[in-house]
Amino acid sequence: MFVLDTDHMTFLDRPDSTEGVRIRQRMEQARLQGVVSTVVSYEEQTRGWLAYAARAKSLAQVVDAYRRLEGHVTVYRSMPLLGFDEAAAIRFQDLKRANIRVGTLDLRIASIVLANDATLVSRNRRDFERVPGLRIEDWTAENA
């Protein structure tokens, strides 16, 4: 199973971008193995879109913000999500005790991926490579 990180989910909001096209192609190739995201990525992106909508000043900006928020919801409705369950919470505690220096939300995502014996799909290798045993791929790379 492949778990799309927040950065890859963001590119799905931009389907015509080079990265978005590459990710969709890889999703099709990996379809039988399963492609999912996490509730944590949903949280991260939703907070961002809600903040974007809150900053909108003009009516045109409000319309744009809600259109983008609706697109975000549509992308997530089409994809299964892995939750932050008890197994992920235990992994999270173990990583915290091991003093892994990764942001809390990224560490939660890594914990979910590890608890599900999956591969994380992310461009954020710098942080995620600090997590022992975490398999990582980047589907935005040209030869991914």
Give the tens place of pLDDT for each residue, 24-35: 999 999 988 999
Q: Is the pLDDT of residue 141 over 90?
A: no
Of 32, 23, 3, 27, which is closest to residue 116 (Cα–Cα)?
A: 3
SS3 141: coil
pTM summary value: 0.91
Residue 126 lies in a domain: yes
Indicate the average pLDDT of the chain.
93
CATH number at residue 38: 3.40.50.1010
Is the model's pLDDT at 89 over the cut of 70?
yes
Structure confidence at residue 144 (pLDDT): 58
Q: How many domains does the structure of the chain reveal?
A: 1
User: What are the helix (H) ranges across 84-143?
Assistant: 86-97, 104-115, 125-128
> Which residue range(s) make up the domain with 33?
2-48+80-137
Q: Is residue 73 situated within a structural domain? A: no
**CA-based R_g, the chain, Å:** 16
The answer to the question of residue 61 being in a domain is no
Amino acid (1-letter code) at residue 33: Q
Question: pLDDT tens for residues 47-67?
Answer: 999 999 999 999 999 999 999
